[in-house]
């Protein structure tokens, strides 16, 4: 794949994928709603040569322009909070369908949609339901699309260990939502590596891949690990899901909410790979363990600096 358009190329996963593709010699276009901010972010990451295009997945014309003459496209756009015009339905269903339709019309060879483990078109959760419906829409518009379902991703700047560490440093107790919910956290760099490999594999067309880490943990275990890393002793206080949902709705009024209703919905059930779909093993990737990666960016020394 010589030319690759990455929608959402400055997001948590997107920027890692862009770096990986550039390192492999691809010509990358980053398609985002705010190009100036994206250029600044890419420059700070040492990726000055990457082309940045203004595109909004809700706008067909801008999507078509971003995809024109591309060999491949990756849709890594995600909305975790609904605002005026930016709804789960608009982004994850209609936006994903628009990217798929325009990719098919432009004759793009490969299309990857980044979804998530647990995506379900019949879910009662608006966020999870939109993810599932988006997969169906993409499959219909671009039958050869590759769907990637990562588990909860971790890495510097993540919303998992980063949030737990921040709360553990600042609060006298650590609130715990869905403490017995089981997860398979996956390193964001491994997910970027997997997508880059999928783009180079014709036999991956039309398949769905679940990308989960090598081990299963309860959220309580992850919280305890984080507290050990930052050198804090905190009492873990269970928060009922109904209370967490109400708090998340209030937090979503903030510019950068620490908790969203979509995140609470994901914690209502185990977030594990089904075991029936291909994953890292089929791609020749050994996923990283959290014990090997998380201590490199969540540590006692960092806590001392904050305090």
Nearest of 291, 147, 276 to residue 224 by alpha carbon: 291
Phi, psi of 65 (to 5 degrees): -65, -40
Q: Determine the pLDDT at residue 1.
A: 62
**32, 141, 193, 224, 233 from 137: Cα distances, Å:** 21, 6, 25, 40, 47
Q: Determine the pLDDT at residue 44.
A: 87
> Which tokens belong to 132?
């599932």
**118, 223, 227 from 161: Cα distances, Å:** 20, 8, 10
- Burial code of 67-87, b = ≥16 C-beta within 10 A, e = fewer? beebbbbbbbbbbebbeeeeb
Band of pLDDT at residue 39, cut at 50, 70 and 90: very high
* pLDDT tens by residue, 202-234: 999 999 999 999 999 999 999 999 999 999 999
Instruction: Determine which helix (DSSP H) or strand (DSSP E) holds 301, and give its type and residue range.
Output: helix 300-306
* pLDDT tens by residue, 285-294: 999 999 999 9
User: What are residue 154's DSSP bridge partners?
Assistant: 187
Q: Where are the beta strands (DSSP E) in the chain?
A: 3-7, 27-32, 51-54, 72-75, 110-114, 146-150, 153-154, 173-177, 182-183, 186-187, 208-211, 217-218, 235-239
* pLDDT tens by residue, 90-129: 999 999 999 999 999 999 999 999 999 999 999 999 999 9
CATH architecture of 3-157+185-214+272-287: 3-Layer(aba) Sandwich (3.40)
User: What pTM did the predictor assign?
Assistant: 0.93
Domain residue spans of the chain: 3-157+185-214+272-287
């Amino acid at each position: 794949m010589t030319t690759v358009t990455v929608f959402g190329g400055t997001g948590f996963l997107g920027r890692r994928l862009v770096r990986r593709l550039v390192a492999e010699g691809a010509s990358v276009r980053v398609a985002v709603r705010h190009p100036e901010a994206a250029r600044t972010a890419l420059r700070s990451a040492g990726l000055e040569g990457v082309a940045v295009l203004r595109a909004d997945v809700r706008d067909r014309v801008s999507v078509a322009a971003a995809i024109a003459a591309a060999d491949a496209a990756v849709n890594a756009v995600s909305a975790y909070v609904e605002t005026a015009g930016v709804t789960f339905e608009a982004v994850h269903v209609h936006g994903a369908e628009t990217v798929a339709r325009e990719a098919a019309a432009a004759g793009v060879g490969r299309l990857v949609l980044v979804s998530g483990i647990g995506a379900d078109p019949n879910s009662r959760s608006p966020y999870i339901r939109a993810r599932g419906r988006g997969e169906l829409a993409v499959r219909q518009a671009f039958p050869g699309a590759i769907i990637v379902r990562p588990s909860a991703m971790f890495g510097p700047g993540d919303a998992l260990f980063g949030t737990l560490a921040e709360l553990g440093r600042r609060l006298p107790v650590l609130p715990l939502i869905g403490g017995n919910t089981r997860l398979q956290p996956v390193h964001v760099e491994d997910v970027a590596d997997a997508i880059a490999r999928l783009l180079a594999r014709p036999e991956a067309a039309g398949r769905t891949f679940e990308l989960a880490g090598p081990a299963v943990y309860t959220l309580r275990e992850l919280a305890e690990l984080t507290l050990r890393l930052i050198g804090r002793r905190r009492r873990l206080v269970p928060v009922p899901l109904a209370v967490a949902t109400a708090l998340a709705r209030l937090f979503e009024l903030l510019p950068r909410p620490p908790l969203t209703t979509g995140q609470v919905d994901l914690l209502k059930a185990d977030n594990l790979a089904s075991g029936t779909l291909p994953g890292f093993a089929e791609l020749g990737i050994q996923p990283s363990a959290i014990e090997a990666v998380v201590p490199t960016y969540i540590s006692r020394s960092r806590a001392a600096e904050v305090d």
